[in-house]
Chain A
Amino acid sequence: MSDASINASTLRDEISREDEASFGDYFALLKPRVMSLVVFTAFVGLLAAPVGVHPVIGFCAVLFIAIGGGASGALNMWWDADIDQVMKRTKGRPIPAGKVEAGEALSLGLALSGLSVIMLALATNIFAGAFLAFTIFFYVVVYTMWLKRATPQNIVIGGAAGAFPPVIGWIAATGTMSVEPWLMFALTFMWTPPHFWALALFMRSDYDDAGVPMLTVTHGRRATRVHILVYTILLALLAIGTAFSGIGGPIYLAVAVVMNALFLLGAWKIFRRNEDNSEEDNFKAERSFFKLSLLYLFLHFGAILVEALLKPYGLGGW
Protein backbone atom coordinates (compact mmCIF):
# COMPACT_ATOMS: atom_id res chain seq x y z
CA MET A 1 0.00 0.00 0.00
CA SER A 2 1.41 3.38 -0.95
CA ASP A 3 1.86 6.29 1.43
CA ALA A 4 -0.75 8.23 -0.51
CA SER A 5 -3.45 5.55 -0.03
CA ILE A 6 -2.60 5.20 3.68
CA ASN A 7 -2.94 8.96 4.10
CA ALA A 8 -6.25 8.95 2.24
CA SER A 9 -7.71 6.18 4.42
CA THR A 10 -6.45 7.89 7.60
CA LEU A 11 -8.11 11.09 6.46
CA ARG A 12 -11.38 9.26 5.79
CA ASP A 13 -11.22 7.70 9.29
CA GLU A 14 -10.55 11.11 10.82
CA ILE A 15 -13.52 12.61 9.00
CA SER A 16 -15.86 9.81 10.06
CA ARG A 17 -14.62 10.12 13.64
CA GLU A 18 -15.43 13.82 13.62
CA ASP A 19 -19.05 12.74 14.06
CA GLU A 20 -18.31 10.21 16.78
CA ALA A 21 -20.89 10.35 19.54
CA SER A 22 -20.21 11.90 22.91
CA PHE A 23 -21.71 10.65 26.19
CA GLY A 24 -24.37 13.35 25.87
CA ASP A 25 -25.50 11.98 22.50
CA TYR A 26 -26.25 8.58 24.05
CA PHE A 27 -28.01 10.34 26.93
CA ALA A 28 -30.10 12.31 24.41
CA LEU A 29 -31.39 8.98 23.05
CA LEU A 30 -33.24 8.56 26.34
CA LYS A 31 -35.32 11.72 25.74
CA PRO A 32 -34.31 13.51 28.96
CA ARG A 33 -37.21 15.98 28.84
CA VAL A 34 -39.79 13.20 28.62
CA MET A 35 -37.84 11.36 31.32
CA SER A 36 -38.18 14.37 33.65
CA LEU A 37 -41.98 14.11 33.34
CA VAL A 38 -41.76 10.37 34.03
CA VAL A 39 -39.57 10.95 37.10
CA PHE A 40 -41.89 13.60 38.50
CA THR A 41 -45.18 11.73 37.97
CA ALA A 42 -43.75 8.40 39.19
CA PHE A 43 -42.39 10.18 42.28
CA VAL A 44 -45.83 11.68 42.97
CA GLY A 45 -47.48 8.26 42.47
CA LEU A 46 -45.02 6.70 44.92
CA LEU A 47 -45.48 9.37 47.61
CA ALA A 48 -49.26 9.66 47.21
CA ALA A 49 -49.59 5.95 48.04
CA PRO A 50 -50.81 5.35 51.59
CA VAL A 51 -47.76 3.21 52.45
CA GLY A 52 -44.36 4.30 53.70
CA VAL A 53 -41.41 3.41 51.51
CA HIS A 54 -37.76 3.29 52.56
CA PRO A 55 -35.97 6.24 50.88
CA VAL A 56 -33.41 3.98 49.17
CA ILE A 57 -36.14 1.73 47.76
CA GLY A 58 -38.18 4.79 46.72
CA PHE A 59 -35.12 6.27 44.98
CA CYS A 60 -34.44 2.97 43.18
CA ALA A 61 -38.09 2.69 42.11
CA VAL A 62 -38.16 6.17 40.56
CA LEU A 63 -34.72 5.68 38.98
CA PHE A 64 -35.62 2.38 37.32
CA ILE A 65 -38.99 3.68 36.14
CA ALA A 66 -37.09 6.63 34.59
CA ILE A 67 -34.55 4.29 32.96
CA GLY A 68 -37.44 2.21 31.58
CA GLY A 69 -38.95 5.42 30.17
CA GLY A 70 -35.57 6.36 28.68
CA ALA A 71 -35.19 2.90 27.14
CA SER A 72 -38.54 3.27 25.38
CA GLY A 73 -37.35 6.67 24.12
CA ALA A 74 -34.23 5.06 22.59
CA LEU A 75 -36.31 2.31 20.97
CA ASN A 76 -38.70 4.97 19.65
CA MET A 77 -35.78 6.87 18.09
CA TRP A 78 -34.46 3.65 16.54
CA TRP A 79 -37.80 2.90 14.87
CA ASP A 80 -38.63 6.48 13.91
CA ALA A 81 -35.18 7.42 12.55
CA ASP A 82 -36.63 7.79 9.03
CA ILE A 83 -39.33 10.31 9.97
CA ASP A 84 -37.12 12.09 12.52
CA GLN A 85 -34.85 12.97 9.60
CA VAL A 86 -37.71 14.79 7.88
CA MET A 87 -39.18 16.77 10.76
CA LYS A 88 -37.56 20.06 11.82
CA ARG A 89 -38.33 19.40 15.48
CA THR A 90 -36.53 16.04 15.47
CA LYS A 91 -33.80 16.17 12.85
CA GLY A 92 -31.22 17.23 15.43
CA ARG A 93 -31.70 13.96 17.34
CA PRO A 94 -28.58 11.74 17.58
CA ILE A 95 -29.54 9.23 14.85
CA PRO A 96 -30.66 11.65 12.10
CA ALA A 97 -27.73 13.92 13.01
CA GLY A 98 -25.39 11.00 12.24
CA LYS A 99 -23.92 10.85 15.74
CA VAL A 100 -25.29 7.45 16.75
CA GLU A 101 -26.07 4.39 14.61
CA ALA A 102 -29.69 3.16 14.65
CA GLY A 103 -28.43 -0.27 15.76
CA GLU A 104 -26.70 1.29 18.77
CA ALA A 105 -29.97 2.91 19.83
CA LEU A 106 -31.71 -0.47 19.51
CA SER A 107 -29.05 -2.20 21.63
CA LEU A 108 -29.09 0.53 24.27
CA GLY A 109 -32.91 0.51 24.39
CA LEU A 110 -33.16 -3.26 24.74
CA ALA A 111 -30.39 -3.46 27.36
CA LEU A 112 -31.87 -0.67 29.48
CA SER A 113 -35.39 -2.12 29.15
CA GLY A 114 -34.22 -5.46 30.56
CA LEU A 115 -32.13 -3.82 33.27
CA SER A 116 -34.89 -1.47 34.44
CA VAL A 117 -37.62 -4.14 34.54
CA ILE A 118 -35.50 -6.67 36.45
CA MET A 119 -34.11 -4.10 38.87
CA LEU A 120 -37.54 -2.57 39.58
CA ALA A 121 -38.96 -6.04 40.27
CA LEU A 122 -36.05 -6.83 42.62
CA ALA A 123 -36.13 -3.46 44.38
CA THR A 124 -39.91 -3.29 44.87
CA ASN A 125 -42.17 -6.11 43.67
CA ILE A 126 -42.77 -8.27 40.61
CA PHE A 127 -46.09 -6.56 39.85
CA ALA A 128 -44.33 -3.19 39.44
CA GLY A 129 -41.65 -4.75 37.22
CA ALA A 130 -44.26 -6.45 35.05
CA PHE A 131 -46.20 -3.21 34.72
CA LEU A 132 -43.06 -1.36 33.63
CA ALA A 133 -42.42 -4.07 31.02
CA PHE A 134 -45.98 -3.65 29.77
CA THR A 135 -45.53 0.15 29.58
CA ILE A 136 -42.36 -0.20 27.49
CA PHE A 137 -44.13 -2.72 25.23
CA PHE A 138 -47.13 -0.41 24.90
CA TYR A 139 -45.06 2.65 23.98
CA VAL A 140 -42.67 0.89 21.59
CA VAL A 141 -44.83 -1.74 19.91
CA VAL A 142 -48.44 -0.55 20.24
CA TYR A 143 -47.80 3.18 19.82
CA THR A 144 -44.51 3.65 17.93
CA MET A 145 -44.56 0.63 15.61
CA TRP A 146 -48.25 0.15 15.11
CA LEU A 147 -50.55 3.11 15.72
CA LYS A 148 -48.40 6.21 15.27
CA ARG A 149 -48.36 5.88 11.49
CA ALA A 150 -51.74 4.18 11.19
CA THR A 151 -54.37 6.32 12.89
CA PRO A 152 -55.03 10.00 13.65
CA GLN A 153 -55.92 8.88 17.18
CA ASN A 154 -52.20 8.04 17.63
CA ILE A 155 -51.70 10.76 20.23
CA VAL A 156 -54.73 9.67 22.26
CA ILE A 157 -53.50 6.07 22.50
CA GLY A 158 -49.84 7.02 22.82
CA GLY A 159 -50.79 9.26 25.73
CA ALA A 160 -51.60 6.15 27.72
CA ALA A 161 -47.95 5.07 27.69
CA GLY A 162 -46.88 8.43 29.11
CA ALA A 163 -49.61 8.21 31.74
CA PHE A 164 -48.51 4.90 33.30
CA PRO A 165 -45.55 6.10 35.47
CA PRO A 166 -47.66 7.31 38.47
CA VAL A 167 -49.47 3.96 38.42
CA ILE A 168 -46.14 2.11 38.45
CA GLY A 169 -44.93 4.37 41.29
CA TRP A 170 -48.06 3.55 43.31
CA ILE A 171 -47.71 -0.21 42.65
CA ALA A 172 -44.02 -0.04 43.59
CA ALA A 173 -45.06 1.34 46.99
CA THR A 174 -48.14 -0.74 47.70
CA GLY A 175 -47.87 -3.87 45.54
CA THR A 176 -51.58 -3.46 44.77
CA MET A 177 -53.89 -1.41 42.58
CA SER A 178 -56.66 1.03 43.51
CA VAL A 179 -58.68 3.90 42.02
CA GLU A 180 -56.35 6.79 42.94
CA PRO A 181 -53.40 5.90 40.65
CA TRP A 182 -55.86 5.49 37.81
CA LEU A 183 -57.10 9.03 38.41
CA MET A 184 -53.50 10.23 38.01
CA PHE A 185 -53.28 8.08 34.88
CA ALA A 186 -56.51 9.61 33.51
CA LEU A 187 -55.23 13.12 34.20
CA THR A 188 -52.13 12.63 32.03
CA PHE A 189 -54.04 10.58 29.48
CA MET A 190 -56.66 13.29 28.90
CA TRP A 191 -54.05 16.07 29.00
CA THR A 192 -51.87 14.57 26.23
CA PRO A 193 -54.15 15.10 23.18
CA PRO A 194 -54.80 18.85 23.63
CA HIS A 195 -51.09 19.32 24.47
CA PHE A 196 -49.90 17.62 21.26
CA TRP A 197 -52.66 18.91 18.99
CA ALA A 198 -51.77 22.47 19.96
CA LEU A 199 -48.17 21.64 18.99
CA ALA A 200 -49.37 20.12 15.70
CA LEU A 201 -51.27 23.33 14.89
CA PHE A 202 -48.17 25.51 14.98
CA MET A 203 -45.62 22.89 13.78
CA ARG A 204 -47.88 22.01 10.91
CA SER A 205 -45.51 21.27 8.06
CA ASP A 206 -43.50 18.85 10.21
CA TYR A 207 -46.15 16.16 10.50
CA ASP A 208 -47.34 16.73 6.91
CA ASP A 209 -43.82 16.21 5.57
CA ALA A 210 -43.26 13.08 7.63
CA GLY A 211 -46.60 11.59 6.59
CA VAL A 212 -47.65 11.02 10.20
CA PRO A 213 -51.47 10.97 10.23
CA MET A 214 -51.97 13.69 12.81
CA LEU A 215 -55.52 14.94 13.26
CA THR A 216 -54.49 18.21 11.59
CA VAL A 217 -53.57 16.25 8.44
CA THR A 218 -56.40 13.70 8.30
CA HIS A 219 -59.41 15.64 9.63
CA GLY A 220 -58.28 19.20 9.06
CA ARG A 221 -57.29 22.04 11.31
CA ARG A 222 -60.87 23.09 12.14
CA ALA A 223 -61.64 19.61 13.49
CA THR A 224 -58.43 19.71 15.53
CA ARG A 225 -59.53 22.96 17.18
CA VAL A 226 -62.89 21.36 18.05
CA HIS A 227 -61.13 18.27 19.44
CA ILE A 228 -58.87 20.44 21.63
CA LEU A 229 -61.91 22.15 23.16
CA VAL A 230 -63.84 18.90 23.75
CA TYR A 231 -60.85 17.16 25.37
CA THR A 232 -60.14 20.23 27.52
CA ILE A 233 -63.74 20.27 28.83
CA LEU A 234 -63.54 16.55 29.68
CA LEU A 235 -60.13 17.07 31.26
CA ALA A 236 -61.44 19.92 33.42
CA LEU A 237 -64.30 17.75 34.73
CA LEU A 238 -61.88 14.95 35.54
CA ALA A 239 -59.25 17.22 37.11
CA ILE A 240 -61.74 18.96 39.39
CA GLY A 241 -63.47 15.65 40.25
CA THR A 242 -60.09 14.24 41.34
CA ALA A 243 -60.00 16.92 44.06
CA PHE A 244 -62.68 14.95 45.96
CA SER A 245 -60.82 11.62 45.84
CA GLY A 246 -58.27 10.16 48.25
CA ILE A 247 -55.38 12.01 46.56
CA GLY A 248 -57.17 15.39 46.44
CA GLY A 249 -57.80 18.08 49.00
CA PRO A 250 -58.38 21.84 49.31
CA ILE A 251 -54.95 22.82 47.93
CA TYR A 252 -55.40 20.57 44.93
CA LEU A 253 -58.94 21.90 44.41
CA ALA A 254 -57.72 25.53 44.40
CA VAL A 255 -54.98 24.71 41.88
CA ALA A 256 -57.35 22.67 39.72
CA VAL A 257 -60.02 25.41 39.60
CA VAL A 258 -57.54 28.14 38.60
CA MET A 259 -55.57 26.06 36.11
CA ASN A 260 -58.64 24.54 34.46
CA ALA A 261 -60.26 27.96 34.11
CA LEU A 262 -57.12 29.21 32.32
CA PHE A 263 -56.86 26.04 30.23
CA LEU A 264 -60.51 26.23 29.17
CA LEU A 265 -60.05 29.87 28.25
CA GLY A 266 -57.03 28.94 26.12
CA ALA A 267 -58.93 26.12 24.39
CA TRP A 268 -61.87 28.45 23.77
CA LYS A 269 -59.54 31.00 22.13
CA ILE A 270 -58.10 28.28 19.87
CA PHE A 271 -61.62 27.14 18.99
CA ARG A 272 -62.74 30.67 18.07
CA ARG A 273 -59.77 31.35 15.80
CA ASN A 274 -59.36 30.46 12.16
CA GLU A 275 -56.20 29.98 10.13
CA ASP A 276 -56.01 33.64 9.05
CA ASN A 277 -56.07 34.86 12.68
CA SER A 278 -53.42 32.32 13.61
CA GLU A 279 -51.16 33.15 10.67
CA GLU A 280 -51.42 36.86 11.49
CA ASP A 281 -49.90 36.56 14.96
CA ASN A 282 -47.79 33.46 14.25
CA PHE A 283 -50.04 31.11 16.27
CA LYS A 284 -49.76 33.12 19.47
CA ALA A 285 -52.80 31.55 21.17
CA GLU A 286 -51.75 28.00 20.17
CA ARG A 287 -48.20 28.56 21.41
CA SER A 288 -49.30 30.01 24.74
CA PHE A 289 -51.81 27.13 25.19
CA PHE A 290 -48.96 24.66 24.62
CA LYS A 291 -46.78 26.45 27.21
CA LEU A 292 -49.68 26.59 29.67
CA SER A 293 -50.25 22.85 29.22
CA LEU A 294 -46.75 22.15 30.60
CA LEU A 295 -47.45 24.25 33.68
CA TYR A 296 -50.92 22.70 33.98
CA LEU A 297 -49.65 19.14 34.42
CA PHE A 298 -46.77 20.17 36.66
CA LEU A 299 -49.05 22.10 39.04
CA HIS A 300 -51.69 19.36 39.22
CA PHE A 301 -49.15 16.70 40.15
CA GLY A 302 -47.36 19.21 42.39
CA ALA A 303 -50.63 19.79 44.28
CA ILE A 304 -51.19 16.03 44.69
CA LEU A 305 -47.65 15.83 46.07
CA VAL A 306 -48.24 18.68 48.54
CA GLU A 307 -51.46 17.04 49.77
CA ALA A 308 -49.59 13.75 50.28
CA LEU A 309 -46.69 15.44 52.10
CA LEU A 310 -49.07 17.28 54.46
CA LYS A 311 -51.05 14.17 55.44
CA PRO A 312 -48.57 12.90 58.09
CA TYR A 313 -49.05 16.24 59.92
CA GLY A 314 -52.82 15.94 59.99
CA LEU A 315 -53.16 18.39 57.12
CA GLY A 316 -53.79 17.66 53.47
CA GLY A 317 -56.80 15.81 52.09
CA TRP A 318 -60.33 16.38 53.32
Chain B
Amino acid sequence: MALRKEHDLHKRRFGRNLGVGLLLGSFVVLVLALTMVKVTSNGFQFPNTQSSTPSSTQSDQN
Protein backbone atom coordinates (compact mmCIF):
# COMPACT_ATOMS: atom_id res chain seq x y z
CA MET B 1 0.00 0.00 0.00
CA ALA B 2 1.34 3.40 -0.92
CA LEU B 3 2.13 5.80 1.90
CA ARG B 4 -0.06 8.92 2.10
CA LYS B 5 1.58 12.05 0.85
CA GLU B 6 2.70 14.31 3.66
CA HIS B 7 0.50 17.37 3.84
CA ASP B 8 1.42 20.78 5.23
CA LEU B 9 -1.15 20.03 7.90
CA HIS B 10 0.98 17.16 9.24
CA LYS B 11 4.02 19.41 9.48
CA ARG B 12 1.99 21.98 11.40
CA ARG B 13 0.64 19.35 13.80
CA PHE B 14 4.11 17.91 14.31
CA GLY B 15 5.45 21.40 15.05
CA ARG B 16 2.66 21.99 17.54
CA ASN B 17 3.20 18.67 19.31
CA LEU B 18 6.95 19.20 19.38
CA GLY B 19 6.47 22.71 20.82
CA VAL B 20 4.16 21.49 23.58
CA GLY B 21 6.51 18.58 24.34
CA LEU B 22 9.53 20.83 24.62
CA LEU B 23 7.63 23.30 26.80
CA LEU B 24 6.50 20.57 29.18
CA GLY B 25 10.02 19.13 29.33
CA SER B 26 11.48 22.58 30.05
CA PHE B 27 8.89 23.14 32.77
CA VAL B 28 9.89 19.90 34.51
CA VAL B 29 13.58 20.89 34.36
CA LEU B 30 12.74 24.36 35.67
CA VAL B 31 10.72 23.04 38.62
CA LEU B 32 13.55 20.62 39.44
CA ALA B 33 16.14 23.42 39.33
CA LEU B 34 13.93 25.67 41.45
CA THR B 35 13.43 22.90 44.02
CA MET B 36 17.18 22.27 44.22
CA VAL B 37 17.86 25.98 44.77
CA LYS B 38 15.16 26.28 47.44
CA VAL B 39 16.21 23.12 49.30
CA THR B 40 19.92 23.97 49.31
CA SER B 41 19.44 27.63 50.33
CA ASN B 42 20.58 28.69 53.81
CA GLY B 43 17.15 29.60 55.12
CA PHE B 44 15.54 26.26 54.22
CA GLN B 45 14.23 24.11 57.11
CA PHE B 46 12.72 20.64 56.74
CA PRO B 47 9.33 20.48 58.45
CA ASN B 48 9.40 18.67 61.80
CA THR B 49 7.36 15.51 61.25
CA GLN B 50 8.56 13.67 64.38
CA SER B 51 6.28 15.17 67.05
CA SER B 52 3.33 16.15 64.90
CA THR B 53 0.56 14.15 66.69
CA PRO B 54 0.24 13.03 70.36
CA SER B 55 -0.61 9.43 69.36
CA SER B 56 2.55 9.01 67.28
CA THR B 57 4.64 10.42 70.16
CA GLN B 58 3.01 7.93 72.55
CA SER B 59 3.62 4.97 70.27
CA ASP B 60 7.23 6.06 69.83
CA GLN B 61 7.70 6.04 73.62
CA ASN B 62 6.22 2.55 73.92
Contacts and interface: CB of A to CB of B under 8 A. Distances in A.
Contacts, number: 28
Interface in B23-42: 30, 33-34, 37, 41
B9 interface: yes
Contacts of A22: 12, 15-16
A57 interface: yes
Contact of A123 (B12, B18, B20, B34): B34
Contact of B12 (A20, A56, A57): A20
Q: Is the interface of A mostly helix, strand, loop or mixed?
A: helix
A18 B33 CA distance: 40
B34 A21 contact: no
Nearest to A64: B30
Interface residues of A, number: 14
Contacts of B18: 23
A17 B9 contact: yes
B15 A23 contact: yes
Nearest to B16: A23
Contact of B37 (A20, A21, A57): A57
A33 interface: no
B39 to A, nearest CB: 12
B42 to A, nearest CB: 11
Given A54-B41, A56-B33, A56-B34, A18 B15 contact: no
B34 A60 contact: yes
B9 A21 contact: no
A14 to B, nearest CB: 8
A9 to B, nearest CB: 16
A308 B30 CA distance: 27
A123 B33 CA distance: 11
B4 interface: no
A23 B30 contact: no
B9 A23 contact: no
Q: Which of A17, A18, A22, A54 has the most C-beta atoms of chain B within 10 angstroms of its own C-beta?
A: A22
A20 B10 CA distance: 10
Contacts of A20: 9, 12-13
B16 A21 contact: yes
Nearest to A60: B34
Contacts of A122: 34
A57 B13 contact: no
B19 A23 contact: yes
A56 B34 CA distance: 7
Contacts of A57: 34, 37
Nearest to A27: B19
7 contacts: A20-B12, A22-B15, A54-B37, A56-B37, A60-B30, A60-B34, A123-B34
